[in-house]
A and B are shown apart, each in its own frame.
Chain A
Amino acid sequence: MTEFFQSWGLPYEWAWGIATVAGILLIALPLMLAVAMVIYAERRMWAAFALRRGPNVVGPFGLLQSFADGLKVMLQETIIPSAANKGIFLIAPIITFTVALMAWAVIPFNSGAVLADINVGLLYVLAISSLGVYGVVMAGWASNSKYPFFSAMRAAAQMISYEVSIGFILICVVLWAGTFNMNEIVKAQQGALFGVLNGFAFIPLLFPMWVLFLISSMAETARTPFDLTEAESELVAGYQTEYSSMAFALYWLGEYANVLLMCTLNAVLFWGGWLPPVDWAPLYLVPGVVWLLLKTFVFFFIFAWVKATVPRFRYDQLMRLGWKIFLPLSLIFVVLVSGWLMFTRYGVAA
């Protein structure tokens, strides 16, 4: 895009600056719209799972429900508890929201359609997602209240635990793709199985890793069945208890942006991103963005499905699953995958 602005006669720095800002807006604005629609879609799906009607009053089919909620929240009063640590209390939701947007910079939407096509794309995603915990921890501490604090402690332990196994799972993907660059990872998935199916998840050795990644991504975004940070029967609303108005809305937007990000990562890392599922020429006529959005929505449906049907874990079960099952399993698969690649692709050194 920089070249396009340079063709208007702008110097490189200005063209780069304008192109970057335009790129950010081009991702962030549709993302916010997507979050609003996805919240509506998810409420409709839960309603269907529970044989209820769901939001169907505001606008046609209730489509405008999220916007009505947004307007309501914006008109509410921002309440700051008198004992709260004011600065951190206000910064915390902003951090959650910003971090949720930042990771989208390296997501490839089509061949070459990336805001930041960096060498260490996947590491960048890991780095940004590890920042996400600060919004929660800061909120829990700054609220100066018991339930948010418990919730913050839980969130920190949970996110750190599952990041470890996510790291090992991603190492398997990186080993197979041979690169950290997100766009290259997608390209490496072309014809992954017998040159026909596009996607690492079709490879028998990587399919279990995808299952682990799907479950870990639910734990990482603190969704049911792992939503112990906001378990309403124990902690009221967890770290969000003291928040109201736009600060509360920022948490909601950030949470759903994170969920969408994890769904997109599932699609990009394991199911071929913007590639069609089958390596067949006519399918390439459909734009890559459409494939990516379709795959993302399938994973979002799985997330909603799980949230509607699976009961919440106990905290010790959660920790056990992360440390005693996922960690050894993913570690074994790192060894298996690298061993397999040494035998088949690189050859064993004499």
Chain B
Amino acid sequence: MIQTLAFYIFASLVIASAVMVIMSRNPVHSVLWLIVAFFNAAGLMVLVGAEFIAMLLVIVYVGAVAVLFLFVVMMLDIDFAELRAGFVKNFPLGLAIALVLLAEMVMGLGAYKAGGMQLGTPDGTAAAAVGASNIKAIGALLYSKYLFLFESAGIILLVAMIGAIVLTHRQRGDTRGQVISRQVARRPEEATVNTQPEVGKGVQL
């Protein structure tokens, strides 16, 4: 009973907040609704017994990605009238994307029902390895069978990260950068001079 109740609460909250992401006029509110949607999706993951995925969803999407979204949206000076003006122009594109997503969802569900891939059976009986916790099962698979894919995914991400840094980092000649080690190594004797100037005369440095 608790599971059913929890499922309907999480599911309806996901859908409601997803609708609010689109409907709310303020982009900051949109991002905050998106966070609610992520959070409830994590709740659904807990219900199917994938607690590791649920925690990753919260850590990665809510904890990192959504914060960056929020950052960007807060910093931007957004003209709401201009945002809504392009609705008619972009409508066909939006419709096309929606149709593609719908088709993908139908195909995915169909493939899952047909049991074509050996990832798990539709009734959920073979979903998890018996007697092993979520993390152990995923780890055993990732670091043995899918080791190559896993490592190459890591390398691709590293390359992307370094690429982004290289593209955005530019050395400007006119800035005075700080050398921390020099700041730390500096002693009072080198920085200050005690003088006793005669009255009426200035100090020559």
Contacts and interface: CB of A to CB of B under 8 A. Distances in A.
Interface of A: 13, 16, 85, 88, 118-120, 123-124, 126-128, 130-131, 133-134, 137-138, 141, 149, 152-153, 156, 160, 163, 180, 316-317, 320
A123 to B, nearest CB: 4
B106 to A, nearest CB: 32
Given A13-B1, A13-B2, A131-B62, A119 B134 contact: yes
A120 B71 contact: no
B70 A137 contact: yes
A120 B51 contact: yes
Interface in B57-96: 58-59, 62-64, 67, 70-71, 74
Interface in B1-42: 1-2, 26, 28-29, 32, 35
A123 B62 contact: no
A180 B133 CA distance: 10
Contacts of B55: 120, 123-124, 126-127
B19 to A, nearest CB: 17
A317 B179 CA distance: 11
Q: Lowest 6 A-B CB distances belong to which pairs? A: A130-B63, A127-B58, A123-B55, A119-B133, A127-B59, A120-B51
Given A13-B2, A123-B55, 18 more contacts: A85-B26, A85-B28, A88-B32, A119-B134, A123-B52, A123-B56, A126-B59, A128-B58, A130-B59, A130-B62, A130-B63, A131-B63, A141-B28, A152-B74, A156-B70, A160-B64, A317-B180, A320-B180
Contact of A153 (B2, B59, B71, B133): B71
Nearest to A119: B133
A130 B64 contact: yes
Given A119-B135, A123-B55, A141 B1 contact: no
Given A120-B51, A131-B58, A134-B35, A163 B134 contact: no
A156 B135 contact: no
30 contacts: A85-B26, A118-B51, A119-B52, A119-B133, A120-B52, A120-B55, A120-B135, A123-B55, A123-B59, A124-B55, A126-B55, A126-B59, A127-B55, A127-B59, A127-B63, A130-B64, A131-B58, A133-B67, A134-B35, A137-B70, A137-B74, A138-B32, A141-B28, A156-B70, A156-B71, A160-B64, A163-B63, A180-B135, A316-B178, A317-B180
B135 A16 contact: no
Contacts, number: 65
Interface of B is mostly: helix
Contacts of A126: 55, 59, 63
A16 B32 contact: no
Contacts of A152: 74
B46 to A, nearest CB: 9
Contacts of A149: 74
Contacts of A118: 51
A163 B64 CA distance: 10
Contacts of B2: 13, 16
A137 B67 contact: yes
A90 to B, nearest CB: 13
Nearest to A159: B67
Contacts of A124: 55
A180 B55 CA distance: 12
A183 to B, nearest CB: 14
A81 B29 CA distance: 19
A103 B138 CA distance: 25
Contacts of A119: 51-52, 133-135
A163 B63 CA distance: 9
Query: Which of B55, B58, B64, B74 counts the most chain A CB atoms within 10 A?
Result: B55
A128 B58 CA distance: 8
Contacts of A160: 63-64, 67
A117 B204 CA distance: 73
Contacts of A13: 1-2
A128 B63 CA distance: 9
A16 B2 CA distance: 10
A160 B64 CA distance: 7
Nearest to B29: A88
A192 B62 CA distance: 35
Contacts of A141: 28, 74
